[in-house]
């Protein structure tokens, strides 16, 4: 059936991935030769990510810029740490980082970026499109949602038709059992919270 | 070959009132195009149909279709299909042009769809609230949105039957990941029936005008697998953000800048989870009803699943 041409430029989906898996990713690729074609980060569980959405605790923020503002934020989920960098070309995210007080629960929409260190390692970070403060309930929902999406990817990993899984096997190896463990770790942290009472009703950051 | 035979039978039936056309002859023509000249079947049908139209000296909308299918309005998903409907006339709108005799909304249990009836078709007029069987209407598509056109071959039969009109609304759930430009405090063209959103004080149709303030949000809901564009109108925006039009105008006045409203809205809603329900208009879901998904996280079943891998 005729799909409307107006939909040809589709917005990229924001993938849900825990910090642990995200930081293991290093391979990027394009799906066309066009200079402006989107760049995708290949996730080890076999999915492409041009955009990610995550919620975590902003634990530190620093202006590491020399001539102009260049904010770095450390955002922690139950499995690891996301690094976000925002400068003058991400004015909204930069001003959010400037104004937020750590610790705070924040939701981040952004694009994966990779860079090579002096040692030749590939590090991955996020260039944020938005950073907004949220509460702990929303954060817990992200943990569950991200667990579900990660399990979905693990389910599809052995599917012959899954080309990203095939790429992931070539780039990162066959064994993805670590990411099942990541999911369990993340969910067990919610379980532990529950047993401690209900911290989910506590506001994330005290107002000054 | 059987497919071509079916198509041939359809085409032959369409011209049965006008020409002496046999199925065999049509099939031969189709076959020549499809097998010998590698023309796609749809194009071949079109080409053969056109050749008979020319031969009979008639217009495309004058031919009937042998046995059109009765469909539900929400199942219409293709352009230029000939269908039958059992519908109630839900709403009549003001035609914008003399060439249009009637325009409005038809509905059945699956939802509603726009219809247009042209003056040149010389059809009887439909009455609001009445139910009809419409045979031989043709579907149309504009920016992903479907409508039906009545035409001179359409037969209208009033039926004595109360049709319950359903709503073809969709529900989308996920994280709200973006508030797009054109959100917040906006100005609309005041020309009658226009309502276009002004860009730098200009209407695309009416040029520079003194716009009227309005509030809306164009947002993106993303569940990690797919994205959905959502529009909150003024009422929905007020309910979602607690900012009403007057408050928004005051905010903009104080800041000497209308963009502060969108910034405030963004900070309020981006990164949170919502369920949004409403009719779809092109690629947009119009938010009739919505709720923030802020219940406790239900992790138990996911944990059981993860542990079982």
DSSP for chain B? -HHHHHHHHHHHHHTTTTS---HHHHHHHHHIIIIIS---HHHHHHHHHHHHHHHHT--GGGS--TTPEE--GGG--STT-EEEEEEEEEEEE--SSTTEEEEEEEEETTEEEEEEEEGGG-PPPP-TT-EEEEEEEEEEEETTEEEEEE-TT-EEEEE---PPPP--EEEEEEEEEEE-TT-EEEEE--STTT-PBPBTTEETTTEE---EEEEEEEEEEE-SS-EEEEEE-HHHHHHHHS--HHHHHHHHHHHT-THHHHHHHHHHHTT-EEEEEEEEETTEEE-SEEEE--SPP--HHHHHHHHH-
Q: Are A29 and A42 in contact (CB under 8 A)?
A: yes
Task: Specify if A107 maps to a domain.
Answer: yes
Q: What is the predicted pLDDT for the residue at B35?
A: 87
Q: What is the predicted pLDDT for the residue at B297?
A: 81
Binned at pLDDT 50, 70 and 90, residue A202 comes out as very low
B260 shares contact with chain A (CB less than 8 Å): no
**B272–A142 CB contact, under 8 Å:** no
**B195 conformational bin, left if phi > 0, alpha if psi -120 to 50, beta if neither:** left
pLDDT tens digit string along B242-289?
999 999 999 999 999 999 999 999 999 999 999 999 887 778 898 989
Q: What is the predicted pLDDT for the residue at B62?
A: 64
Instruction: Please give the residue of chain B at the shortest CA–CA distance from A198.
Output: B296
Residue A140: CATH number of its domain: 2.40.50.140
Considering only CA atoms, which of A109, A112, A132 is closest in space to residue A124? Answer: A112
> What mean pLDDT comes out for the span A186-202?
73
Task: Specify if A208 maps to a domain.
Answer: no
> What mean pLDDT comes out for the span B223-242?
95
**At residue A206, does pLDDT exceed 60?**
no
B226 shares contact with chain A (CB less than 8 Å): yes
Q: B206 by DSSP, 3-state: which?
A: coil
ipTM, interface predicted TM-score of the complex: 0.88
| Mean predicted lDDT score pLDDT of chain A | 90
pLDDT tens digit string along B184-193?
999 999 987 7
B252 shares contact with chain A (CB less than 8 Å): no
Structure tokens at B264: 């405030």
Q: Are B150 and B121 in contact (CB under 8 A)?
A: yes
Q: Are strands B131-142 and B82-93 parallel, antiparallel or unpaired?
A: antiparallel
Task: Specify if A205 maps to a domain.
Answer: no
Task: Specify if A61 maps to a domain.
Answer: yes
> What mean pLDDT comes out for the span A149-176?
96
The residue ranges of DSSP E strands in A14-65, in sequence order, are 14-15, 28-30, 39-43, 47-49, 51-63
Task: Specify if A103 maps to a domain.
Answer: yes
Cα B190 to Cα B196: distance, rounded to the nearest angstrom: 8
B175 shares contact with chain A (CB less than 8 Å): yes
> What mean pLDDT comes out for the span B211-217?
94
What backbone torsions phi and psi does residue B76 show, to the nearest 5 degrees?
A: -70, 120
Structural domain of A176: 12-191
Q: Which residues of B touch A200 (CB under 8 A)?
A: 296-297
pLDDT tens digit string along B26-59?
999 999 998 888 888 888 888 888 888 888 887 7
Q: pTM score > 0.90 for this model?
A: no
Cα A58 to Cα A41: distance, rounded to the nearest angstrom: 23
- Nearest neighbour of A187 by CB, restricted to B77, B143, B306: B306
Q: What is the predicted pLDDT for the residue at B134?
A: 94
Instruction: Please give the residue of chain A at the shortest CA–CA distance from B266.
Output: A132
Q: Which residues of B touch A105 (CB under 8 A)?
A: none
Integer CA distances (angstroms), B114 to A23, B1, B104, in order = 50, 37, 6
Task: Specify if A82 maps to a domain.
Answer: yes
> What mean pLDDT comes out for the span B92-98?
84
**B143–A4 CB contact, under 8 Å:** yes
Task: Specify if A92 maps to a domain.
Answer: yes
Q: What is the predicted pLDDT for the residue at A204?
A: 47
CB pairs under 8 A between A and B: 121
Q: Which residues of B touch A141 (CB under 8 A)?
A: 273, 293-294, 297
B283 shares contact with chain A (CB less than 8 Å): yes
Q: Are strands B227-232 and B284-286 parallel, antiparallel or unpaired?
A: parallel
**A15–B224 CB contact, under 8 Å:** yes
Q: What is the predicted pLDDT for the residue at B84?
A: 92
Q: How many domains does chain A have?
A: 1
| Mean predicted lDDT score pLDDT of chain B | 88
**A147–B79 CB contact, under 8 Å:** no
Q: What is the predicted pLDDT for the residue at A198?
A: 52
**A141–B143 CB contact, under 8 Å:** no
Q: What is the predicted pLDDT for the residue at B74?
A: 85
> What mean pLDDT comes out for the span A162-170?
96
Binned at pLDDT 50, 70 and 90, residue A161 comes out as very high
What backbone torsions phi and psi does residue B156 show, to the nearest 5 degrees?
A: -115, 120
pLDDT tens digit string along A46-97?
999 999 999 999 999 999 999 899 999 999 999 999 999 999 999 999 999 9
**At residue B1, does pLDDT exceed 50?**
no
**A134–B307 CB contact, under 8 Å:** no
Q: Which residues of B touch A144 (CB under 8 A)?
A: 297-299, 302
**B306–A53 CB contact, under 8 Å:** no
Q: What is the predicted pLDDT for the residue at B112?
A: 87
Choose between B12 and B183: higher pLDDT. B183
Task: Specify if A4 maps to a domain.
Answer: no
**At residue A21, does pLDDT exceed 50?**
yes
**A14–B224 CB contact, under 8 Å:** yes
Cα A47 to Cα A127: distance, rounded to the nearest angstrom: 19
Q: What is the predicted pLDDT for the residue at A9?
A: 66
């Amino acid at each position: 059936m005729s799909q409307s041409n107006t939909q040809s430029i589709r917005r990229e989906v924001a993938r849900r991935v825990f910090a642990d898996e995200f930081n293991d990713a290093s391979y990027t690729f394009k799906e066309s030769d066009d200079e402006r074609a989107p760049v995708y980060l290949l996730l080890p569980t076999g999915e492409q990510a041009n955009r990610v959405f995550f919620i975590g605790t902003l634990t530190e923020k620093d202006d590491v810029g020399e001539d102009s503002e260049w904010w770095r934020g450390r955002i922690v989920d139950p499995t690891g740490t996301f690094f976000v960098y925002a400068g003058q070309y991400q004015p909204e995210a930069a001003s959010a980082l400037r104004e937020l007080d750590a610790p705070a629960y924040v939701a981040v929409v952004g694009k994966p970026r990779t860079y090579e260190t002096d040692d030749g390692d590939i590090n991955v970070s996020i260039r944020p499109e938005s950073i907004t403060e949220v509460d702990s309930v929303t954060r817990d929902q992200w943990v569950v949602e991200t667990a579900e999406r990660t399990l979905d990817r693990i389910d599809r990993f052995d599917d012959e038709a899954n080309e990203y899984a095939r790429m992931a096997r070539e780039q990162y190896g066959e064994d993805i059992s670590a990411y099942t463990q990541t999911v369990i770790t993340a969910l067990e942290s919610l379980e532990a919270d529950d047993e401690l009472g209900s911290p989910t009703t506590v506001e994330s950051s005290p107002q000054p | 070959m059987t497919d071509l035979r079916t198509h041939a039978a359809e085409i032959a039936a369409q011209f049965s009132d006008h020409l002496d056309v046999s199925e065999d002859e049509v099939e031969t023509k189709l076959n020549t195009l499809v097998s010998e000249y590698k023309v796609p079947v749809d194009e071949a049908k079109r080409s053969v149909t056109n050749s008979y139209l020319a031969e009979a000296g008639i217009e495309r909308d004058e031919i009937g279709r042998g046995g059109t299918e009765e469909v539900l309005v929400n199942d219409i998903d293709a352009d230029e299909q000939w269908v039958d409907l059992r519908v109630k006339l839900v709403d009549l709108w003001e035609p914008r042009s003399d060439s249009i005799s009637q325009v409005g909304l038809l509905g059945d249990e699956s939802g509603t769809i726009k219809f247009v009836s042209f003056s040149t078709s010389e059809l009887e007029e439909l009455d609001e609230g009445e139910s009809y069987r419409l045979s031989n209407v043709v579907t149309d598509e504009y920016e992903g949105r479907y409508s039906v056109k009545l035409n001179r071959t359409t037969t209208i039969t009033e039926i004595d039957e109360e049709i319950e009109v359903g709503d073809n609304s969709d529900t989308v759930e996920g994280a709200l990941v973006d508030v797009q430009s054109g959100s917040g405090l906006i100005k609309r063209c005041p020309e009658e029936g226009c309502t276009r959103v002004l860009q730098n004080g200009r209407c695309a149709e009416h040029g520079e005008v003194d716009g009227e303030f309005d509030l809306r949000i164009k947002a993106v809901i993303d569940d990690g697998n797919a994205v959905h564009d959502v529009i909150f109108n003024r009422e929905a925006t007020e309910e979602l953000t607690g900012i009403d039009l007057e408050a928004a105008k005051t905010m903009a006045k104080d800041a000497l800048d209308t963009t502060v409203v969108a910034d405030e809205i963004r900070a309020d809603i981006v990164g949170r989870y919502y369920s949004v329900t409403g009719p779809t208009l092109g690629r947009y879901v119009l938010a009739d009803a919505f709720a923030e998904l802020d219940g406790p996280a239900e992790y138990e079943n996911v944990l059981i699943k993860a542990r079982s891998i």
